[in-house]
Amino acid sequence: MTDDKRTAIDSTDITIDQKLIDEGTAQLNSEIAVLENWLAELDTAEENDAEVAATRKSYHDMLSSRREMLSALAKQAKLQAVVTK
C-alpha cells in the first residue's frame, strides 16, 4: 500500500472516530439532561417515600455514570486531537 493510500485511510478512520465521539457526546448530554429533569421532578415528591428514595438513588447513580462516561469521552477526544496534529 502506498503512503498516499495509508494517509487517506488514516484520515477516514480519524473522521469516523471523531464522528462517533461527537455522537456519543451528544447522546450522553441528552441522557444527562433527562436524568437531571427526572431528579428535579422527584424533588417535589415526598421525602419519606421509600420508593422515591430508591428511584432518586438509582437516578443519581445513572447520572454519575453518564458524567464519568462523558469525561472519558472528552479525554478520548483530546487524545484524538493530539494524534491528528
The predicted structure's pLDDT at residue 15: 47
Q: Please say whether the beta carbons of 25 and 73 come within 8 A.
A: yes
The predicted structure's pLDDT at residue 82: 72
For the chain of 85 residues, list the mean pLDDT of each consecutive stretch of 10: 52 62 94 97 83 93 97 86 66
Q: What is the pLDDT of residues 62-75, one digit of tens each?
A: 999 999 999 999 98
Backbone dihedral angles phi then psi of residue 44, each to the nearest 5 degrees: -90, -10
The predicted structure's pLDDT at residue 47: 73
Per-domain residue ranges of the chain: 3-79
Enter the pTM of the model. Answer: 0.72
The predicted structure's pLDDT at residue 19: 84
Q: Please say whether the beta carbons of 66 and 35 come within 8 A.
A: yes
